[in-house]
Structures are given as structure tokens and as C-alpha cells.
């Protein structure tokens, strides 16, 4: 597995998003199977594992901690905290530090470790100044509790303001061939400031694998029930996109998922996608994408074809929140 750097933090060129092992896409695997999959990811050369306190209400962190306990000095673990409270809950630096410290210590306990390499703010809380969050992260770095920190779905302004206080290691936001919102402004500012970029859902929640079926009926706590790109009409409308990706995949003796990831890796050397899967074959396929190197001509040709295609549907936090109210 090739290596990349997120503002100095060395990780495998492709990481692994662990969320699906606990939640998000229907029934999760049992613990033994989940641990076996994490070990398989590691054996394939991946050293970058992503989790969060929110995933499974802490269960995912516990799972990752147990699975990687004997490999702790050979991997990079990233986790996230989420502050949903109003700013009045943390109206002093001391109260904010106390709240963040409690969350961090709980995450470290669940992960069975004394530090994490990367600690993200899961979403930027508009009621709490990013400068205050950045200051606290700087203190945790001094204490050795975290090696670096990041933001998720942040704006350029939020990135610049936070980075000026405590340099950011990485920004984790949604990015794929189907979702390129952050390409115009966030990627350039990350490049200018030396910040890494970690795309979640780099395969558009599996859509870009080319293996999804417009007739599939998703049930239970499966995010694809509310992600509009999985609406039948949108899936049919997006068929030209899959046709283009399959065309390039066939020419390179690769899969659509591998071409989608290779396109992303070619774009910038500070991009490290974190696809997640619960299928061992799909996991191997995704990680093998690190070995699929596009030529400049191939990349340019893909970009030219993508420019002709309109993408239908998306994924929003508001839609994901609706999932809890569905029966």
C-alpha cells in the first residue's frame, strides 16, 4: 500500500471508514465478523482507520479499539466529537475545555488507548467560535492526547480561522465523482495551507461501485432510504455516469469503484479517501485501487466526460436525520 501525508501525518493512501460495522446500512455484522474484517483491512496494507463517538453511540470506537489493540503502534486511528449544544452551554473557555476533555477521555477509554492521531470536530457548531475549539485542540496536542485535529464539512472561512489558531491536520468532508461541492474552494485552501483532505463516502455510499440495483428496497436504519441519489428515478437518470466509469474501468482492467477512487487519488496528493464496506471482496477491491494509477491523459479524458453529465440526487445531513423518524 502506498503512503500519503495529511499535513505531516503519514497514512496509507486509502483508509477505511468503520462506521458501517456498527450502523448506517442496515443490520451490522456481529462483533467477531467485524473484527475479522478490520484485521483483513490491516492485512491488505491499510493503516488508517476512521471512527467516531456517534457511530453506534460509542460501540464503533469500542470495536475499533478491540480489533486494533495488538496493532496499535502500527496504525493511525481517527475519531470525532460532536457538539450539538448551544453556545451558552460553553460560554467560557474553561467550560468548553471541560466538555471537550470529557468527550476525548471517553473516546480514548472506548478505544483502549492513551492517544489518537487525528481528532475531528464532526460538524462545525455555528454557536461556538472555531477559534475556541482550535485553542482546546492545541492544548490536547501539547498534552499528547491527540497528534492532530480536523474539521468535517467546514467552510473555507471556518478552516482559515481555525487553522490560524492551531494548524489543522485534515478536513473530512463528503467528496466523490457524484459530490464535488468542496472541489472549487475547500480543496484549493487545503492545498494552500498544507492541510490534508479525507473524503467520506468517496464511492457515493456505494453507488459508484456499479453494483446497486434501482429495484432494491432498503429497510430499517439504512441511510440509502433517505439519500436521494438512491431514489429509483435518480438512479436511472444517473446511468450515463456509470456507463462512463465502466468504459474507463474496462479499458484499464479495473472496476468502476477502482476508477472512481483512482480519479480522486490522481487529483491531489493530499487526498486520502476512506471507503467503508462490510464485504471482504469489496474491501480488497477498494484498497487495490491504490495500485491503479491513471495517466494524465486518462484523467483529462475522464474529466471531459464528467463535464457533460448532470448528476441527480445527493446526500445531506438533513436527509440522514430523517432516517430516525422512519418506520
Cα separation, 281 vs 68, in Å, equals 21
8 A C-beta contact, residue 177 and residue 144: no
CA angle 88, 123, 120 (to 5 degrees): 105
Question: In whole angstroms, how far apart are CA 14 and each of 72, 165, 217, 259, 260?
Answer: 18, 29, 30, 13, 12
DSSP string, 175-231: -BTTB-GGGTTHHHHHHHHT-EEEEESTTTTTGGGT---TT----SSBGGGT-GGGS
Selecting among 16, 42, 55, 120, the annotated active-site residue is 55
8 A C-beta contact, residue 313 and residue 205: no
CA angle 315, 238, 152 (to 5 degrees): 25
Question: In whole angstroms, how far apart are CA 303 and each of 165, 200, 309?
Answer: 36, 21, 10
- Cell (9 digits) for 20: 458501517
Nearest alpha carbon to residue 208 among 174, 172, 175, 245: 245
Helix, coil or strand: residue 127: coil
116's enclosing H/E stretch is strand 116-121
Cα separation, 26 vs 23, in Å, equals 7
Nearest alpha carbon to residue 1 among 36, 43, 57: 43
Q: What radius of gyration do the chain's Cα atoms show?
A: 19
Q: Phi, psi at residue 182, to the nearest 5°? A: -85, 0
Residue 55 annotated in active site:
yes
CB atoms < 10 A from the CB of 316, how many?
12
Active site residues: 55
Amino acid at each position: 500500500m502506498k503512503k500519503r501525508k495529511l499535513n505531516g501525518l503519514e497514512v496509507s493512501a486509502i483508509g477505511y471508514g468503520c462506521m458501517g460495522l456498527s450502523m448506517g446500512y442496515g443490520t451490522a455484522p456481529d462483533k467477531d465478523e467485524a473484527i475479522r474484517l478490520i484485521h483483513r483491512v490491516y492485512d491488505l496494507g491499510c493503516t488508517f482507520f476512521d471512527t467516531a463517538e456517534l457511530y453506534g453511540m460509542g460501540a464503533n470506537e469500542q470495536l475499533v479499539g478491540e480489533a486494533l489493540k495488538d496493532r496499535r503502534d502500527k496504525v493511525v486511528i481517527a475519531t470525532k466529537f460532536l457538539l450539538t449544544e448551544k453556545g451558552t452551554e460553553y460560554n467560557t473557555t474553561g467550560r468548553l475545555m471541560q466538555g471537550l476533555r470529557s468527550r476525548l477521555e471517553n473516546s480514548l477509554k472506548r478505544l483502549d488507548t492513551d492517544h489518537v492521531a487525528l481528532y475531528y470536530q464532526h460538524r462545525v457548531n455555528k454557536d461556538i467560535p472555531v477559534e475556541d475549539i482550535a485553542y482546546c485542540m492545541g492544548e490536547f496536542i501539547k498534552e499528547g492526547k491527540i497528534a492532530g485535529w480536523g474539521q468535517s464539512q467546514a467552510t473555507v472561512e471556518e478552516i482559515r480561522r481555525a487553522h490560524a489558531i492551531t494548524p489543522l491536520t485534515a478536513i473530512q468532508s463528503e467528496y466523490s465523482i457524484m459530490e464535488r461541492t468542496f472541489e472549487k474552494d475547500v480543496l484549493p485552501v487545503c492545498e494552500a495551507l498544507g492541510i490534508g483532505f479525507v473524503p467520506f463516502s468517496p464511492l457515493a455510499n456505494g453507488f459508484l461501485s456499479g453494483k446497486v440495483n434501482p429495484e432494491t428496497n432498503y429497510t430499517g436504519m439504512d441511510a440509502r432510504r433517505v439519500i436521494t441519489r438512491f431514489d429509483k428515478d435518480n438512479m436511472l437518470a444517473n446511468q450515463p455516469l456509470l456507463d462512463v466509469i465502466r468504459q474507463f474501468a474496462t479499458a484499464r482492467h479495473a472496476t468502476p469503484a477502482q476508477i472512481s477512487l483512482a480519479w480522486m487519488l490522481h487529483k491531489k496528493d493530499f487526498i486520502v479517501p476512506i471507503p467503508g464496506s462490510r464485504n471482504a471482496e469489496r474491501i480488497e477491491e477498494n484498497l487495490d485501487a491504490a495500485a491503479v494509477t491513471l495517466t494524465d491523459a486518462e484523467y483529462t479524458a475522464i474529466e471531459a466526460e464528467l463535464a457533460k453529465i448532470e448528476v441527480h440526487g445527493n446526500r445531506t445531513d438533513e436527509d440522514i436525520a430523517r432516517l430516525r423518524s422512519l418506520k
